[in-house]
């Protein structure tokens, strides 16, 4: 017998008799090591390695894992690990970790290869294609609704109106008022340098009515309602509720998306109008207090600045943003996976997409309306 590694008591000891080896484990086990056990260099394929567990005082899962790794390394070398002298419990645990096949079942891999023809793999549709398809389906559903052939329930629209509208109003009012105040200060500071404080009201009115009331409403609804739409629909999808509709032949777009979209389009003009008024009113104390504009001048200038063009452009843009928010929320919800994690991901994606779409639409519409001369 030739000892390869000494240091008995701490290290496992490899010894060989002819081609076969004995591995003596130290009393405290091999301990926990990051490194895999080095195999003796002259261990040949076909060798048997007997583990001598006699000195072992105790064993734990770490030893089992160590032996499992050793057995794998030996198997790759073409050698085999024999564990007969190990404690019975340890042997049983190691046996459990061995891959086994049911005696009666043919090797699964062979069967799989024989029985399954390769499935032609189509390319998964891109996110953009999914979005376009979704918009198309919504348009078709809208068409069916306009022709009075939709499965949409009016009660659902009313319920969504209730959920989205009144409860969004306070926060829309607050955020629009703060924006109006900010506009007044910013406008006042700049206009004051050329002595044109009187036009402060123009900045606030046009800014709020034409651009910012709609945008703030869109942003608030993206966070408050778009995310909720995504979470509702994604949860319904995870709970197979959408499948339960489809099995009945009910189009989820008509039944779930349309009421949400229409409800949000219904509340949008109201919210935008209230938001614009709140912004203009909030600019008033700033104009009077900080820039010496009189109350009469402020409101007079407001009314003069407020043209029908600004009004309809502001409402149009705001409605567009809100529609995009509703669509982003519903799209993400319906496209979600079937897990709790997917619900969270859909909610986040709905808000991010909603905001991104709002900004893109704001930019696009501003360029278009400005170049058209409105």
The footprint of another protein (CB under 8 A) covers: 102-106, 108, 111-112, 115-116, 119, 121-122, 151, 159, 232, 235-236, 239-241, 243-250
Shortest distance, position 194 Cβ to another protein, whole Å? 57
Comparing CB distances to another protein, the nearer of 151 and 359 is 151
Comparing CB distances to another protein, the nearer of 156 and 202 is 156
The number of beta carbons lying within 10 Å of the beta carbon of residue 95 is 10
Please check whether residue 137 is in contact with residue 245, taking contact to mean a CB–CB distance below 8 angstroms: no
Q: Which residue has the tokens 């017998």?
A: 1
Question: Partners of 51 in the beta sheet?
Answer: 23
Shortest distance, position 244 Cβ to another protein, whole Å? 4
Shortest distance, position 179 Cβ to another protein, whole Å? 34
Comparing CB distances to another protein, the nearer of 23 and 242 is 242
Comparing CB distances to another protein, the nearer of 41 and 121 is 121
Comparing CB distances to another protein, the nearer of 88 and 248 is 248
Shortest distance, position 105 Cβ to another protein, whole Å? 6
- Among residues 131, 104, 23, the alpha carbon closest in space to that of 70 is found at 23
Comparing CB distances to another protein, the nearer of 247 and 303 is 247
Shortest distance, position 126 Cβ to another protein, whole Å? 16
Shortest distance, position 325 Cβ to another protein, whole Å? 20
Shortest distance, position 124 Cβ to another protein, whole Å? 8
Shortest distance, position 259 Cβ to another protein, whole Å? 11
Comparing CB distances to another protein, the nearer of 250 and 277 is 250
- What is the arrangement of strands in the sheet containing 2-3, beginning at the earlier edge strand? 2-3, 13-17, 20-24, 48-52, 80-82
Please check whether residue 270 is in contact with residue 165, taking contact to mean a CB–CB distance below 8 angstroms: yes
Comparing CB distances to another protein, the nearer of 122 and 170 is 122
């Amino acid at each position: 017998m030739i000892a390869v590694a000494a240091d008995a008591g701490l290290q496992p000891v490899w010894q060989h008799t002819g081609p076969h080896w004995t591995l003596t484990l130290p009393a405290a086990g091999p301990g926990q090591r990051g490194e895999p056990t080095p195999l003796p260099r002259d261990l040949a394929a076909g060798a048997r390695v007997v583990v001598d567990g006699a000195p072992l005082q105790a064993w734990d899962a770490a030893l089992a894992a160590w032996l499992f790794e050793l057995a794998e390394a030996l198997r790759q070398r073409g050698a085999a690990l024999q564990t007969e002298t190990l404690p019975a419990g340890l042997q049983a645990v190691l046996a459990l970790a061995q891959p086994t096949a049911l005696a009666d079942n043919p090797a699964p891999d062979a069967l799989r290869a024989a029985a399954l023809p390769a499935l032609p793999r189509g390319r998964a549709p891109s996110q953009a294609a999914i979005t376009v398809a979704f918009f198309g389906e919504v348009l078709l559903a809208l068409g069916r609704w306009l022709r009075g052939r939709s499965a949409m329930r009016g009660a659902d629209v009313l319920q969504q109106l209730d959920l989205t509208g009144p409860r969004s109003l306070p926060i829309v009012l607050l955020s629009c008022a703060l924006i109006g105040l900010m506009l007044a200060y910013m406008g006042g500071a700049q206009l004051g340098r050329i002595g044109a404080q009187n036009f402060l009201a123009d900045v606030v009115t046009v800014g709020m009515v034409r651009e910012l009331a709609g945008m703030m409403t869109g942003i608030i609804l993206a966070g408050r309602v778009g995310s909720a739409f995504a979470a509702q629909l994604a949860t319904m999808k995870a709970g197979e509720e959408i499948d339960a509709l489809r099995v009945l032949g009910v189009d989820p777009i008509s039944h779930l998306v349309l009421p949400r979209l229409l409800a949000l389009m219904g509340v949008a003009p109201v919210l935008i109008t209230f938001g614009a008024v709140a912004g203009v009113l909030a600019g008033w104390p700033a104009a009077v207090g900080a820039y010496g504009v009189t109350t009469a001048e402020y409101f007079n200038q407001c009314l003069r600045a407020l043209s029908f063009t600004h009004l309809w452009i502001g409402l149009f843009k705001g409605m567009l943003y809100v529609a995009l928010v509703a669509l982003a929320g519903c799209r993400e919800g319906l496209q979600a996976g079937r897990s709790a994690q997917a619900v969270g991901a859909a909610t986040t994606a709905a808000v991010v997409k909603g905001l991104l779409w709002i900004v893109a639409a704001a930019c696009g519409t501003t360029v278009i309306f400005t170049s058209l001369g409105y």
